[in-house]
Amino acid sequence: YEMNGFPDAALATYAQAAGLDPDEFSWPYFRALLLGKNGDLPAALASLEQSIAIDQDYVPAWLWQGKWSLDSGDEETAETAYRRAQDLGAGSPAIAGLAQLRLRQGRPSQAVALLEAVNPEYSHPQLHRMLGEAYRNLGRDDDARIAFARGKLAQALEWFDPRQHQKTDYVWGFKNQMALAGELLVAGQIEDALALLHDWEERHPDDPALLTNLGWAYLNLDDLDRAHEILLRGVAAHSSTHSSGYHFHFHIGRLYVRWREDDKALFHLDKAAELNPTQPYPHEERGKVLLRQGRTDEGLEALDVALEKGMPNPASVLDAAGMAEAARGRWTEAIERFRRAGEADPAFTEAYVHLARSLCQVERFDEARNALDWAARLGTHPGAVASARRILANAESSGVDDQPPGGA
């Protein structure tokens, strides 16, 4: 019932099943999750306690208890639940819960201690955002700026729930299963998604949702030949369709970019831009191809169109444009591009290194030093920063750097 859109019937059935089989963890647990989804947290917590009494080692149950208790204002129960989840190996979700609790308690220093212990290279963006909030509460504004930049793409921190995943076997109907396949792909469960998609492929070989999901799956597996075959089927069946046609042309265009088949790439990217003029991504990819071909003015124009259409992460586009300007010795333009890249993403170390090296070219040494100080503070590319510092020192003592900013 639940997986096919009948929540009330599902709640009644779960309660009935729990009465018939009181030692089975799943029935009160599934009922708790559905009640929580519906916003009835007191009932959800009561049902969750029943499931925890049956199995005290199931990590997601403790995480849900921590979250719902925190949302309900019961900090003591939330603390106990997150500590138990942490002891059972929950990792980042438990740390996030404890850090959120510390922030609510007005204890940002303790939140920082929890969050800084997580390796920043593997830290979920949501943890960076929480760290930024803690830094800001402590008056560490520069550190907060970096942390917020690293967490700018944050989504809700989720955790895999094996028992919940078992319910996907009960999803009925082609449309619902295509939606489920998309969810599995987002969760990184590629093989599960492929198994589901292959079950339907013979009956719906040209369906755009099926082909979209198949193409996405094979791209994620880096099986480019199979992805190419799927995307070609999509182009053949839906070439002129606004939504699905855009998708197939864009992704096969990107595939040709990877294969360095530039003419084919540009054809499909142009078609994608024509089908969906509001999207910035085809223009970004066109810019990459054109710059690679040495058509710098056209490439920069394409990148600027992508920026005008609202790239959600403009820093990398601005940095690429800066590199193109630097390669032809237009240092003023390159500096402006790199400066804007750093403003768009204060945690983008390479942009600051490239900015510093370009500033060296016009003997603006103090500004170059400031850019490198910030890059060093980010702590992600110490070798590049050290190399740029040597170039700065040489430029100050004997003349400017004659290498482009991306050099060694």
- The secondary structure of residue 168, as a DSSP letter, is G
Contact between 34 and 11 under an 8 Å Cβ cutoff? The reply is yes
DSSP secondary structure letters along 327-378: HTT-HHHHHHHHHHHHHH-TT-HHHHHHHHHHHHHTT-HHHHHHHHHHHHHH
SS3 assignment, position 34: helix
Contact between 353 and 384 under an 8 Å Cβ cutoff? The reply is yes
Contact between 329 and 348 under an 8 Å Cβ cutoff? The reply is no
SS3 assignment, position 164: helix
Alpha-carbon distance values, 218 to 213, 214, 215 (Å): 9, 6, 5
Task: Spell 192-219 as b/e; 16+ CB within 10 A means b.
Answer: bbbebbeebeeeeeebbbbbbbbbbbbb
Q: Rounded distance, CA 353 to CA 376, Å?
A: 9
Q: Rounded distance, CA 211 to CA 233, Å?
A: 8
Which residue segments constitute the domains of the chain, with CATH numbers given? 2-150 (1.25.40.10), 313-408 (1.25.40.10)
Residue type, 31: R
pTM value? 0.79
* Torsion sign across C-alpha atoms 6, 11, 17, 21: positive
Cβ neighbours around 74 below 10 Å, total? 17
As averages over each run of 10 residues, the pLDDT of the chain (408 residues) reads 62 82 88 92 96 95 97 97 95 94 97 89 84 97 94 78 68 75 85 90 90 92 95 91 90 95 97 96 98 97 98 96 98 98 97 98 97 96 97 85 61
Q: Rounded distance, CA 348 to CA 354, Å?
A: 10
Q: What is the pLDDT of residue 262?
A: 97
- The secondary structure of residue 312, as a DSSP letter, is S
Contact between 347 and 378 under an 8 Å Cβ cutoff? The reply is yes
Q: What is the pLDDT of residue 228?
A: 97
Q: Rounded distance, CA 42 to CA 395, Å?
A: 67
Q: What is the pLDDT of residue 247?
A: 93
Residue 236, both tokens = 């053949």
Q: What is the pLDDT of residue 170?
A: 54
Residue 381, both tokens = 């590319």
Phi, psi of 140 (to 5 degrees): -90, 75
Q: Rounded distance, CA 193 to CA 185, Å?
A: 6
- Give CA angle at 304 (302, 307), nearest 5°: 115
Q: What is the pLDDT of residue 408?
A: 44
Residue 69, both tokens = 């208790």
